[in-house]
A and B are shown apart, each in its own frame.
Chain A
Amino acid sequence: MAQRTFKIWRGDSEGGEFVDYTVEVGPGMVVLDAIHRIQAEHSSELACRWNCKAGKCGSCSMEINGKPRLSCMTRLNSLPEGTVTIQPLKAFPLVKDLVTDVSWNFEQNKRIAPLKPKARDADGNHRMMQEDVDRVQEFRKCIECFLCQDVCHVLRDHKKHEKFVGPRFMVRLAQLEMHPLDTDDRIEKIRKEFGSGWCNITRCCTEVCPEHIGITDNAIIPLKERVVDRYYDPVAWFIRKVLGRK
Chain B
Amino acid sequence: MAAADISELQTIEHDVLVIGAGGAGLRAAIECAAQGVSTGLVCKSLLGKAHTVMAEGGMAAAMGNVDPRDNWKVHFRDTMRGGKFLNNWRMAELHAKEAPERVRELEEWGAVFDRTKQGLISQRNFGGHRYPRLAHVGDRTGLELIRTLQDHGVHQGIAVHMECTVLDLLKDGDRVVGALAYWRDTGRFVLFKAKAVVLATGGAGKAWRVTSNSWEYSGDGLAMAYLAGAELMDLEFTQFHPTGMVWPPSVRGTLVTEGVRGDGGILKNKDGKRFMFDYIPERFAAETADTEEEANRWLKGDKAARRPPELLTRDVVARAINSEVKAGRGSEHGGVYLDIASRVPAEIIRKKLPSMYHQFKELAEVDITAQPMEVGPTLHYFMGGIRVDADSQMTTVPGLFAAGECAAGLHGANRLGGNSLSDLIVFGKRAGAGACEYAAKAGQGVIDEAQVHASMRRATDFLNRESGINPFVVQEKLQGMMSHNVGIIRTKAELETAIEKLKELEAEAATAKAHATSQYNAGWHTALDLRNLLLSSEAVTRAALTREESRGAHTRDDFPGERDEWVKYNIIIKRGAGGEMVVEKRQRPAGPTPLVEIANSKIEDLESGKVAADYK
- Contact surface of A with B, Cβ cutoff 8 Å: 12, 26-30, 33, 39-40, 44-59, 73, 75, 95-97, 99, 101-103, 106, 109-110, 113-115, 117, 120, 124-130, 133, 136-137, 140-144, 172, 176, 179, 181
Query: In the bound complex, do residue B514 and residue A45 qualify as a contact, i.e. CB atoms below 8 Å apart?
Result: yes
In the complex, are the beta carbons of A28 and B363 less than 8 A apart?
yes
Give the interface segment out of B109-117, B336-344, B559-567. Answer: B109-117
Q: Closest approach, in angstroms, between the C-beta of B27 and any C-beta of chain A?
A: 16
Contact call A45/B517, Cβ cutoff below 8 A: yes
Given A54-B255, A143-B53, A46 and B522 contact (CB-CB distance below 8 Å): yes
Considering only residues 6-56 of chain B, those with a C-beta below 8 Å from chain A are 45-51, 53-54
A50–B215 CB distance below 8 A: yes
Q: Can you pick out 25 interface pairs between chain A and chain B where the beta carbons lie within 8 Å of each other?
A: A27-B248, A29-B250, A33-B250, A39-B523, A40-B473, A51-B50, A51-B214, A52-B49, A52-B53, A52-B214, A54-B251, A54-B363, A55-B355, A59-B45, A59-B49, A95-B520, A96-B520, A97-B520, A99-B520, A106-B47, A114-B152, A120-B104, A128-B115, A142-B147, A176-B110
Asked if B254 lies at the interface with its beta carbon under 8 angstroms from chain A, I say: yes
CA distance A49 to B43 in the complex (A): 14
CB distance from A84 to the nearest CB of B (A): 15
**B140 close to A (CB within 8 Å):** yes
Which one, B121, B470, B521, contacts A40 given CB within 8 A?
B470
User: Across the interface, which residues of A come within 8 angstroms of B155, CB to CB?
Assistant: 110, 113-114
**Interface assignment of B108: CB less than 8 Å from any CB of chain A:** yes
The complex places the Cα of A127 from the Cα of B118 at a distance, in Å, of 7
Q: Are B110 and A130 in contact (CB under 8 A)?
A: no
* A44 x B214 contact (CB < 8 A): no
Task: Given the known inter-chain contacts A45-B523, A55-B358, A114-B110, please indicate yes or no for A99 contacting B49, CB distance below 8 A.
Answer: no
CB-defined contacts of B114 to chain A, threshold 8 Å: 130, 137
- Quote the shortest CB–CB distance from A113 to chain B (angstroms): 8
A192 to B212: give the CA distance in the assembly, Å: 44
Q: How far is the CB of B70 from chain A (nearest CB, A)?
A: 15
With A54-B54, A141-B140 known as contacts, the answer to whether A30 contacts B515 (CB < 8 A) is: no
In the complex, chain B residues 421-450 whose Cβ is within 8 Å of any chain A Cβ? none
Residue from the list B104, B154, B470 in contact with A110, Cβ < 8 A: B154
From A26, A47, A106, A115, contact of B250 by CB (8 A)? A26
Instruction: Give A113 to B47 CA distance when docked, in angstroms.
Output: 18
- Interchain nearest-CB distance for B429 vs A (Å): 18
On chain A, the residues within 8 Å of B160 by CB distance are 106
Contact B362 A133 (CB under 8 A): no
Whether A52 pairs with B54 at a CB distance below 8 angstroms is yes
Q: How large is the interface on B (under 10, 10 to 19, 20 to 34, 35 or more residues)?
A: 35 or more
* Bound: A106/B255 CA distance, A: 28
Asked whether A45 and B515 contact (CB < 8 A) given A28-B364, A33-B250, the answer is yes
| Minimum CB distance partner of A102 in chain B | B46
- Contact A47–B520 (Cβ < 8 Å): yes
A143 touches B112 (CB 8 A): no
Tell me whether B516 and A45 are in contact (CB under 8 A). yes
Bound complex: CA A45 to CA B50 (Å): 22
B469-496 contact mask (Cβ, 8 Å, vs A): 1 or 0: 0111100100000000000000000000
Q: How far is the CB of B520 from chain A (nearest CB, A)?
A: 4
Contacts of A54 in B (CB 8 A): 54, 251, 254-255, 359, 363
Q: What separation, in Å, do the CA atoms of A179 and B151 have in the docked complex?
A: 15
Residues of chain B within 8 A of A115, CB atoms compared = 108-110
- Closest CB-CB distance, A41 to chain B, in whole Å? 8
Q: Which residue of B lies closest to A143 (CB)?
A: B143
Q: Residues of B contacting A46 with CB < 8 Å?
A: 522
Question: A55 and B362: CB pair below 8 A?
Answer: yes
Q: Which residues of B contact A137 (CB under 8 A)?
A: 112, 114, 137-138
Which of B51, B107, B115, B155 has the most chain A CB atoms closer than 10 A to its own CB? B115
Partner of B53, one of A30, A39, A57, A73: A57
B120 at the interface (CB under 8 A from A): yes
CA A59 – CA B526 in complex, angstroms?
Answer: 18
Instruction: Contacts A30-B363, A44-B523, A95-B185 given; indicate if A56 touches B249 (C-beta within 8 A).
Output: no
Instruction: Compute how far the CA of A64 lies from the CA of B285 in the bound complex, rounded to whole angstroms.
Output: 53
> Which residues from chain A contact B108 at a C-beta distance below 8 Å?
115, 117, 120, 126
Which residues on the A side are within 8 Å of B519 (C-beta)? 12, 47, 96
Residue in B closest to A123 when the chains form the complex, CB atoms: B120
How far does the alpha carbon of A224 sit from the alpha carbon of B150 in the complex, in Å?
Answer: 27
Shortest distance from the beta carbon of B34 to any chain A beta carbon, whole Å:
14
CB <8 Å contact, B522 and A136: no
Q: Does B162 contact A (CB under 8 A)?
A: yes
A55 to B154, CA, bound (A): 24
Taking a contact as CB atoms closer than 8 A, the residue among A58, A113, A117, A176 that contacts B49 in the complex is A58
**Smallest beta-carbon distance A28→chain B, Å:** 2
A178 CB to closest chain B CB (Å) equals 10
B524 interface hit (Cβ, 8 Å):
yes
Q: With a CB–CB cut-off of 8 A, which chain A residues contact B354?
A: 141
B247 interface hit (Cβ, 8 Å):
yes
Q: Is B119's CB within 8 Å of the partner chain A?
A: yes
Complex contact A28–B251 (CB within 8 A): yes
Whether A114 and B109, one on each chain, are in contact in the complex, defined by CB atoms closer than 8 angstroms, is: yes
Chain B nearest CB from A86 CB (Å) reads: 15
The list of the 6 closest CB pairs from A to B, nearest first, reads A28-B248, A44-B523, A127-B119, A47-B520, A45-B516, A40-B472
Q: Which residues of B contact A12 (CB under 8 A)?
A: 519
Would you call B144 an interface residue if the criterion is a C-beta within 8 Å of the partner chain's C-beta atoms? yes
Inter-subunit contact B515/A53 (CB<8 Å): no
- Contact residues in A for B526 (Cβ distance below 8 Å): 44
B522 near A30 with CB under 8 A, answer no
